[in-house]
Structures are given as structure tokens and as C-alpha cells.
Structure 1
Amino acid sequence: MNRILSAVVMACLTIVVITGCRGAGQVYNVKEAPVATATGKELTMEQVQKAIVEAGLSLRWIMTPDKPGHILGTQNARSHTAVVDIDYTTKSYSITYKDSVNLKYNADKQTIHEAYIGWVRNLDNAIKGRLMAASAP
């Protein structure tokens, strides 16, 4: 009986620990992802920018190209805001954390709410899809 009770207590403690840790994870950044097209031909800077902007807009990101090779992406959901830097060339792109509001960002641990991680993964996947569909000159 004591073994069963001990096992139940351990299982409950494990669930509490796992549930308590849920909601935050490592900040997800995309580093130098290749710009790949279905044809294998290189896109122009304008085509890469267009693909990235369209991918973001399709997911309700506010995409602000502010200089050649850089876009500022902002995602707003209720009281939460995420801001990312998107740097790109004709060869690769990167998505990196810039700022957030109400997403439990911890600079020391480099953790953030899981919603941010999902938003950036979805953005990355959408960019890959738009780039793959883009036609080279």
C-alpha cells in the first residue's frame, strides 16, 4: 500500500512540475535559413523582401521594411506583442527576437512564452513556403 501511495504522490508531483514549467521555452531564433526556390534559381532582394512581407501579412504580422535587407515584424494578440528583426539577403534570412510585451521574456534565461515560439515557427514556415513558390527572374 505504501508503494502505491508513494507512486501516486510522485506522479502528482511530476505533473505539477511539468505543468508549472509549461508556458515558457527557449527563445526561438532562425539563423541564416537558406533562401530556396522550387527552381533553384536565385531571387532578387526585392523578391525575397516581397515573399517575407507576404508571409508575415498572411499570419497577421505587421511587416515594416525599414532599410534594404531588414524588416521589422510585429505580432499583436490581445495584450501580447512580439517584435522581431528579420535580416535577409538573396542567400539567407534570419529572424531574431527584438522585444515583447506580456510574453514573460526572461533575458537571463533566454526564455519566453510558448506563444512567441509558435508565432516565429509559423512565420518561418510561411516564409519558406513563399520563397519556394517565388519565381526567379
Structure 2
Amino acid sequence: MKLMTTRTLPRFLFVLMLAGLAACSRVQPVMTVHQQLPATTTLSDEQLREPLIRALTRAKWTLEEEEANRILARIDFRQHSASITIDYAGGRYDIRYRDSHDLDYADGKIHKRYNALVKKLNRVILQEVRIAQNLTGSLQ
């Protein structure tokens, strides 16, 4: 029994090639993070601010401006840069795209490196929130 015929093999290779090209795409939809903190987290908005700032520093982002429940940050690498807004309140935070330079932003899509930086920042924020929660819990 033949698994592939001479007619299906070229079709299979064509589909495989298209899937490979799609996986290698350098642009992706811009990632926006809407993160609800675990229900066990009891940090106030002011207490949440500290882990957010520590995470930005650890992930190499620069704090540009700070407002009530809002942080504006930027990261520069090679000749590229990206700017984000972090809004936080009520046990949640959002990371939203603001601007970029040389990251191919167009029509809601951006270079995949931006999304990788935002994913990393989100992971670091969650780590810092856990640390802050443990410290706050041990002080009570």
C-alpha cells in the first residue's frame, strides 16, 4: 500500500511549504495584555505599582512617565524602539502598544520581536507580583 501517490506528494509539499512560510512570518498582530491577578492576590493599586516598576527595570524597559494608575515605558534595542502604556487598577493590569520605531508597525501588525518583549515583560510582572504578595503576606 502506497502512502503517497505521485499526485498527492506535490500537493502535500506545497501545503507544507505554505505552512512553513506562515510560521516564519516576521509580522504578527500587536499583542495587548489584559491580565487579571490571581484571586489570592491582595495588593492595593499602590502596592501593585512597585512590582510593575521593578519588572520594567528587570526587563530593561525605561520608565518614561507615571500618572495615577498608569505607567508609560519604552525599550530601545539595536536601532529599534517600542513604547507601551500600562494601566493598572482593581487587581488587574493592561499592557498596550503606544508607538514604535523600525518594528514594521502597520495595520495592527508589528514585528514579532515586539510581542516577544511584551510576553517577557508580562512573565516578569507576574513574578514580581508573586514576590510582593509573599512579602506583604509575611508582614501581616
2-structure distance, mates of 1:10, 1:74: 41
1:14 aligned onto 2:34: no
Report the alpha carbon displacement of residue 24 of structure 1 after superposing the two structures with TM: 0.8
2-structure distance, mates of 1:2, 1:41: 60
1-structure distance, mates of 2:112, 2:78: 15
After TM superposition, the score normalised by the length of structure 1 is 0.80
Partner of 2:60: 60
2-structure distance, mates of 1:130, 1:12: 41
2-structure distance, mates of 1:94, 1:12: 37
Partner of 1:35: 37
The residue correspondences of 1:89-128 to structure 2 (distance < 5 A) are 89-106=89-106, 108=107, 110-128=108-126
| Deviations 1:26-83, CA, capped at 9 Å, x for gaps | 100012x12348xx25213222111001011101000234211000111111111010
> Aligned with 1:71: secondary structure?
strand
The one of 25, 28, 33 aligned to 1:25: 28
Question: Any gaps of 5 or more consecutive residues in structure 2?
Answer: none
Q: CA RMSD in A?
A: 2.5
1-structure distance, mates of 2:43, 2:93: 13
Question: Any gaps of 5 or more consecutive residues in structure 1?
Answer: none
1-structure distance, mates of 2:67, 2:47: 15
How many residues were matched structurally? 131
Q: Which has the higher contact order (CA 8 A, sep 6+)?
A: 1
Aligned partner of 1:60: which letter? K
> Aligned with 1:85: secondary structure?
strand
